[in-house]
Amino acid sequence: MAKQFDHLTKDHIGFITAQHIFFCGTAADEGRVNISPKGMDSLRILGPNRLIWRNWTGSGNETAAHLALHNRMTLMWCGFEARPMIMRAYGTARTLHPRDPEFATLNAQFPTTDGARQIYDVSVAMVQTSCGYAVPFFEHQGPRDTLEGWTRDKGPQGIATYWKERNQQTIDGLPTHILEDPNA
């Protein structure tokens, strides 16, 4: 039976910090719903109703475009290793790009890297837990370092070029605002 909460409890926070992966879901009015796996020490809990996650440069940039239209977001964690639980945090989020004044302060919460594309500042409105009895067991073997190596090899200029060439539109053609201010 699902249980709902209006904030992240100490137990929820413990569950989140024990996970090696989470999933982010966003959508526009039309087109594809995006669900992306996230990892790489990219999440920080700042309070019972606030968390941030840093988005690394990657092949798609759906989340930023969807949030420019509708600031709703769902994050999900699954207990793959021991505790059979699925937990979702429903809320709203705002996108912060490296050009935004608050980006540097929030980015300082994470290890130093050149690959940070956005930080999402999430306001949690509801948390829902449910059983994860049908979720299979997986053994965590460790983090991948592929993206970190790719980022290091590209360097800041190569990443900027990648954003220009590959991250300005979603697969549905929506603008991601990676290189410009959407309010300008």
Q: What is the pLDDT along the chain (184 residues), one digit of tens a residue?
A: 899 999 999 999 999 999 999 999 999 999 999 999 999 999 999 999 999 999 999 988 999 999 999 999 999 999 999 899 999 999 999 999 999 999 999 999 999 888 999 999 999 999 999 999 999 999 999 999 999 999 999 999 999 999 999 999 999 999 999 998 655 5
Query: Could you give all domains of the chain from N- to C-terminal order, each with its CATH number?
Result: 3-166 (2.30.110.10)
In angstroms, the Cα distances linking 52 to 3, 17, 43 are: 23, 13, 6
**How many CA within 13 A on the CB side of residue 131?**
3
What is the predicted pLDDT for the residue at 42? 96
pLDDT 10s digits, 77-107: 999 998 999 999 999 999 999 999 999 999 9
- State the chain's mean pLDDT as an integer: 95
For residues 134-167, one letter each, b for 16 or more C-beta atoms within 10 angstroms of the residue's C-beta and e for the rest, the string is eeeeeeeeeeeeebbebbeebeeeebbebbeeeb
